Each structure stands twice: as C-alpha cells, then as structure tokens.
Amino acid sequence: MLNLKLQQKLLQKLSPQQILVMKLLQIPSIALEQRIKQEIEENPALEELSNTEDTFEENEEMEFKDNPDDTFEEEKSEEYNKEDEFDLNDYISDDEIPSYKLNTFNTSLDDERKENPFVSGTSFQEMLISQLGLRDLNSKDLLIGFNIIGNLDDSGYLVRDLSSMVDDLAFTQNIKATTEEIKSVLKIIQDFDPSGIGARNLQECLLIQLNRKKETKNIDLAITIVERYFNELTKKHYDKIIKKARITENELKDALSEILKLNPKPGNSLAETSKTNHYILPDFIITNNNGDLELTLNSKNAPELRLNKSYLEMLEDYSNNKKNKKSKDAFSFVKQKIDSAKWFIDAIKQRQNTLYITMKTIMEYQKAYFLTGDETKLRPMILKDIAEIVNLDISTISRVANSKYVQTPFGTYLLKSFFSESMQTSNGEEVSTREIKKILSDCIEIENKSKPLTDEQLTNILKGKGYSIARRTVAKYREQLNLPVARLRKEL
C-alpha cells in the first residue's frame, strides 16, 4: 500500500565550490598545470596572465558612468526576483591581480619558467617488427610473426598459449595455421635482439641467452643447471645441485656468475621507449638555511590567472541594459562564466594555502629528520596528528599527502612515506615503525650472505636493541621492504 508522508532529514551536501577545491587539492603540481589549461579552454572568462604583460598598467581602475556606487539591483521579472542582488563591484575591482598570486610562497613574473621534458622513441613492437621485416618470410609467416609480437608482454615473454593463437589467427586473420608453424616463426623471433625475446617462461628465456653466448666450460655447466636443476636453482638449494650434478662449489660459483649476468626481463630495455616517461615534480621544497628550515611551494609551471577584461566589460554593459529577453540571457551567461572563473581562482588560492599550512606543520613535526636526514629520528605520525594541529579534517590531510612529493636536502620523497604508526620500546618510549624498518634493513645489509639471518634471529637482534616485537611482525616489515626470506638471500 502506498502512503504519502512528510519527513525531515538533516543532510550535509557539498557545494560545487567545495567539490572543486577537493578535486584540486588531491592532484599533484605536475597535473595542476594541465587542469588549469583545461579550465581556461572551457571557460572564456578565465585567462592566463602573460609574462610579457605589465600587470599594473593593464589593471587600471575602470569607471562606470551610469552606476557611481558600483552597485546594481536587479529588477523584478520572471527570471530575477527581488531577493537576487548583483553587485558589480564584486566582479570588477581596481586591481585584477589574483590574491593567491600575492602570497609570499608563490612565484613572480621574473622567475624562470621551465617545461617538463618528455622523450619519445620507437615502440617495443616497432623495433621487433623492423627486425621481422629483414627476414625472408612469406605473407602467412609474416602475419603469424605480427600476431606473436602483438602477444608479447612488456618483459618480452609470450603470454599467449600457442593453441589459443591458432584460434586467434583463424578468427581474426582468416589464416589456417598449426602450432608447428607458429613454433617455427617463434623460433625466428627468439633469435631477435635483445636476447631472450619471445620466451614462454623464465627457464626458456635464460636458455636462449646462454645458447647465444660463446661456448665455454662455464656456459655449458650453466646450461646444464638451468635445464636440469632449475627448480633447485630458483629455491637456492645449492647443496642439492652440487650433489646431483657432481660438481664442486667453485664450479657452481663460476656457473652462477654467468647465470647472474643474464637479463630475466629482456623486453624491458625496449619497452621503456614505448612507455610515457614520468618525471617527479616536487610539490614542496624544503631548504636548510643554517639550521633554519624554509618551505616553498613549487608552482613555477602553474600559469597565473585573472578574469578576462572583455567579459568584465560585457558584464557591465549587459547589467545596464536588460530590457529584452536576449540581453537578460546574455547577462546570465556572462555572469555564470565569470562566477565560475572566480570560483576556480579562489579554489586555487585555497589549495595553495591548505598545502602550505599542512606541509609547514609536517615539517615542524619532523624537524629533527629534515635537519639531519636520519630516518631513525622520524617521529611516529598519523593523519590525525596533523589534522588536529591544523584544525582540518583527516580526509583533507589525506588528500594533501596523496601523490605529493617533497624535495629535501637528502632527496625527493613521497609525502605519505613520512606517516607511520608508533610502537613502544622496552623503556616505554614511542618510536616510529619506520625507524624499526631502517634498523632491520641495516641488519640484513651487513649480514653474512653465506649464512643469512632468519626472521627469528632478526627478532632477537631487535629485542636486544630494545624493540620488543613478534617474529611475524618482523616478517611483515621485511616483506614491506621487498626483502626475501633468508634462504633466498643466500649467496655462495
């Protein structure tokens, strides 16, 4: 049964301006420039202030003869009621310089503007296709070769099953091919440079590279090890290899030295040219000036914005003449575009202010680290700690820390890497988990690689230093540091 009823609800809705600020806040500086250019293209009332313009000469005071008070109240009509008031002074002022440009941490017109370099080159597939064209192949084998190259991943491996490729050629190219014919063309592609291209697994990749090397005693033994004892090799069961192959430890060491020279991902050397090169542009720059930390926002490539003077003049003309419907529609359109431009400039200003005060707080919170670069001096810090100091929401701090980089005297780091949980030592002192990871990494770096430290031994070492943590926690930190278990760290 359907019923009609009235119900009151308290809801929190975000305005378009708030949504715009949040979207601008989470993008890094390298993407901000493109976002500003996109807004300029979509909104003609917004324009970029050219470096060659004289700002103060261009922004002279505008006089309004018909409206000496610079205020205009809209007349009653079907589209404009009495409550809608329009103040022309809110849109046209005697100084059109955007307020965010006047901030001390922004750039000036005298600063050098640098463009980000992007390098392009021949793609991975194009280099292999060019080598395929040098072989004497018929049209059918040539199409099979194109299909094989198209199925290679970025590492250079053939990820598609040969039987599936038979179906692909039949349905897409209308070519009847057998697995033997595909194997024959694949054998040709595996002879291409770099060595190891077209392999179907790591073992085949290593064998292709070893077979193309000059035959020596060490190479023959290396081929035997990869062919017959590959499983033991991947698990580093060297004792089993020595026993089964009936070789000495020195012979195994010489063979392993040849295997370690091989490239497990031969396609990477070619695939790098086909990928878009990503350059890290730091959002913040911290400098150490004789013990005093100085913070600046990196906004060199962000164009400076202002309202379009032509649209401001149009707004003035239409505000004084809205007698017919066309003039009212034109006034509404121009006013909407200028409002949107003002919102965008204000959002940029708010973004810059939020970024600056948040990073300033993080810099002061981790002052000991930024002065010395010693990771053991990093204090435990979570999003809530910074949010309470700057009096902002945790989600806002999260957006600031997301995908932002800070340039320090010791390198450029991802901002969120400075956030870490706390852990108490045996003395009751709170330390950052990153400090423990640094000690763990140092212990593994100086260990005896012939007898690497197990997780249990690492736990005892940390407990001896006052860090009482469980073995499973040590294993978790080791995995976060991308360090393998002791057995896989073993070396002869």
**Structural domains of the chain, ranges and CATH numbers in brackets:** 124-271 (no CATH), 279-419 (no CATH), 422-489 (1.10.10.60)
3-state secondary structure the chain: CCCCCCCCCCCCCCCHHHHHHHHHHHCCHHHHHHHHHHHHHHCCCEEECCCCCCHHHHCCCCCCCCCCCCCEECCCCCCCCCCCEECHHHCCCCCCCCHHHHCCCCCCCCCCCCCCCCCCCCCHHHHHHHHHCCCCCCHHHHHHHHHHHHCECCCCCECCCHHHHHHHHHHHHCCCCCHHHHHHHHHHHCCCCCCCCCCCCHHHHHHHHHHCCCCCHHHHHHHHHHHHCHHHHHCCCHHHHHHHHCCCHHHHHHHHHHHCCCCCCCCHHHHCCCCCCCCCCCCEEEEEECCEEEEEECCCCCCCEEECHHHHHHHHHHHCCCCCHHHHHHHHHHHHHHHHHHHHHHHHHHHHHHHHHHHHHHHHHCHHHHHHCCHHHCCCECHHHHHHHHCCCHHHHHHHHCCCEEEECCEEEEHHHHCECEEECCCCCEEEHHHHHHHHHHHHHCCCCCCCCCHHHHHHHHHHCCCCCCHHHHHHHHHHCCCCCHHHHCCC
pLDDT at 361: 92
Write out the two tokens for 187: 């054998």
The tens-digit pLDDT sequence of the chain (492 residues) is 677 878 787 766 667 777 777 788 778 777 888 888 888 888 888 887 764 454 444 444 434 334 434 433 344 344 444 434 556 556 555 555 554 444 444 455 555 555 555 445 566 778 888 888 888 888 888 888 888 888 888 888 888 888 888 888 888 888 888 889 888 999 998 888 888 888 899 999 999 888 888 666 678 888 888 888 888 888 888 888 888 888 888 888 888 888 888 888 888 765 444 444 556 788 889 998 888 888 888 876 667 788 878 877 777 776 666 667 777 777 778 788 888 888 888 888 888 888 889 999 999 998 888 888 887 788 888 888 898 998 988 888 888 888 888 888 888 888 888 887 777 776 666 677 777 888 888 888 888 888 888 888 888 888 888 888 888 888 888 888 888 888 788 776
Write 224-228 long-range contacts (CB < 8 A, 24+): 225/252, 225/255, 225/256, 225/259, 226/259, 227/203
Q: How far apart are CA 198 and CA 194, in angstroms?
A: 10
Report field, pTM of the whole predicted structure over 0.85:
no
The pLDDT value recorded for residue 55 is 42
Give yes or no for a contact between 425 and 362, defined as CB atoms under 8 angstroms apart.
no
Cβ contacts of 242 within 8 Å, gap of 6 or more: 248, 249, 252
What pLDDT, on the 0 to 100 scale, is given for residue 216? 66
**Number of Cβ atoms within 10 Å of the Cβ of 296:** 16
**Rg for the chain, CA atoms, rounded:** 33
Q: What does the pLDDT read at residue 332?
A: 79
